[in-house]
Structure 1
Amino acid sequence: MGDVPARLTVVTLGARDLPTLRRFYATLGWPQVDGSDDAWAGFLVGGVLLALYPLPELAAEAALAATAPAAGFTLACNVDSAEQVDTAYEAALAAGATPVAEPTTREWGGRSGYVADPEGNRWEIAYASSAVFDARGALVSFG
């Protein structure tokens, strides 16, 4: 035990239309890593790499059913204030996201709303007072 470090370094989204998905995240203003193009793209987001990779190639590498929709997970972008949830939600819509659930105050005390990127990946834009970030925007504690 202990040979696998407790860290998340890359989240890869299998893209059906990588150029469109890449343009969406670039429109949000997220910084692309060197070497990004319309065949593979990476965005450095708070210490984690969000990678975009063609879905058929990802399916072959990771033994995924390329036609099965992903279910049971969401991605999240936590922000610094409850008010910023609404601002970020509107910015995502302006960049081409589809509204899924408007921002609302949650029973757990925070605020969040959901959007979908151009391929339907669900993003929660959330504020939780217990979230603490470092200078890079990486989550350093929660709770």
Structure 2
Amino acid sequence: MAVPQRISFITLGARDLPRLRAFYAAWGWEELPGGEEDFAQYQAGGVRMALYPVELLGGEAAPGQAPPPPGGWNGITLAVNVGTAADVDAVHRAALAAGAVLISAPVRREWGGRSGYVADPEGNRWEIAWLPGLVLPPE
């Protein structure tokens, strides 16, 4: 049997889970029922995203290893794709208004689309992007 070609769940290790929870609420994301003090989850299209304390997540996924330093980039980006190039700018502004940190303003990319980057309060990088030809699932 091969590994299924899909991503089902993304879990972000949180240093300050209440702060991240408030940040994603300010983005307009609705938390799914069943959350606890140390766990929150959101339906993001066909993928579920969770927030979980970084030390507990590290105990499962990286036993004996230190987490990445606070505020530094961990080498991973997440993306929210939108329907038009103009939507990139509007959603990028909305993310900043919700408390995201500017990483790079939206620009036309060499691959033909448009995107810009923001970071959540713990440094997780989010690309706000439009990719020509990408068919987005219904919300």
TM over 0.5: yes
Q: 1:67 to 1:134 in 2, by over 3 A?
A: closer
Deviation sequence 1:6-49 (CA, Å, 0-9, x none): 21110000000000001111111112111124311001011111
Pairwise CA RMSD: 1.4
Q: Is the 8 A contact 2:55 2:67 kept in 1?
A: no
Structure-2 residue corresponding to 1:66 = 66
Letter in 1 for 2:66: A
Q: Is the 8 A contact 2:31 2:41 kept in 1?
A: yes
TM-score, with normalisation over the residues of structure 2? 0.91
SS at match of 1:126: strand
Letter in 1 for 2:138: A
Q: CA deviation at 1:108?
A: 1.2
Residue identity over aligned pairs, in percent, reads 54
Q: Is the 8 A contact 1:22 1:38 kept in 2?
A: no
Deviation sequence 1:90-109 (CA, Å, 0-9, x none): 10011110000000111111
1:130 aligns with 2:129: no
93, 98, 103: which one pairs with 2:96?
A: 93
104, 107, 124: which one pairs with 2:107?
A: 104
Q: 1:67 to 1:5 in 2, by over 3 A?
A: closer
Gaps in structure 1 of 5+ consecutive residues: 137-143
Structure-2 residue corresponding to 1:55 = 54
Q: CA deviation at 1:86?
A: 0.5
Q: CA deviation at 1:67?
A: 3.2
1:38 aligns with 2:41: no
Q: Distance in 2 between matches of 1:39 and 1:52?
A: 8
Runs of 4+ displaced beyond 3 Å: none
TM-score, with normalisation over the residues of structure 1? 0.88
Q: Distance in 2 between matches of 1:103 and 1:134?
A: 23
Q: Distance in 2 between matches of 1:134 and 1:116?
A: 24
Q: Is the 8 A contact 1:33 1:42 kept in 2?
A: yes
